[in-house]
Amino acid sequence: MYGSIDVARAAIQVALTGSRQSEENLIARLGERGLRAAAVDVGGNISETIHVVIERAIIASRKCHITEENHIHDGAIAGAAKDAIMQISSRVNGLNGGGKIGICRGGEHLSVCIFMSAGLLHLNEVVIGLGHRAIAE
């Protein structure tokens, strides 16, 4: 059984992967340990694309069987993703950015991590945000 910190740590690790191959390897290793995980790339002006980030998190979690297609699971992903966005929004407001969303679920614990770089030209901020929800199995 995994606790909220274990699941959050796994979501952060997924978001930090530097290549598609390392991402797939990590997701497979987490799966062997009983954790379900997914990752999805994000980019653009975060202030204008908050809904896109949330939608991508919902779709990725469904496709990777982290959550089911129902309002309780969709709401949990959306809420955790919005929490993560709110943690980074003051740093990236109005800037273009790119990065990755890492999603992980272990038992009732669900975490969404957003890791990205945002800025102008070569003057970038590196930010990370994390949201957590609990949903019944």
Contact 27, 70 (CB under 8 A): no
Give the Cα separation of 99 and 9 in Å (integer): 17
Tens digits of residue pLDDT in 12-44: 999 999 999 999 999 999 999 999 999 999 988
- Boundaries of domain holding 118: 4-134
How would you class 91 by CB atoms within 10 Å of its CB: exposed for 0-12, middle for 13-18, buried for 19 or more? middle
Are the C-beta atoms of residues 109 and 124 closer than 8 Å to each other? no
Residue type, 136: A
* Count of domains forming the chain: 1
Burial grade of 32 (CB within 10 A; 0-12, 13-18, 19 or more): exposed
DSSP letters, 53-70, are HHHHHHHHHHHTTSS-SS
Residue 33 sits in a domain of what CATH number? 3.40.1510.10
* 121 pLDDT above the threshold of 80: no
62: left (phi over 0), alpha (psi -120 to 50) or beta: alpha
pLDDT digits 0-9 by tens, 56-100 = 999 999 999 999 999 999 999 999 999 999 999 888 888 888 999
Is the pTM of the predicted complex or chain greater than 0.85? yes
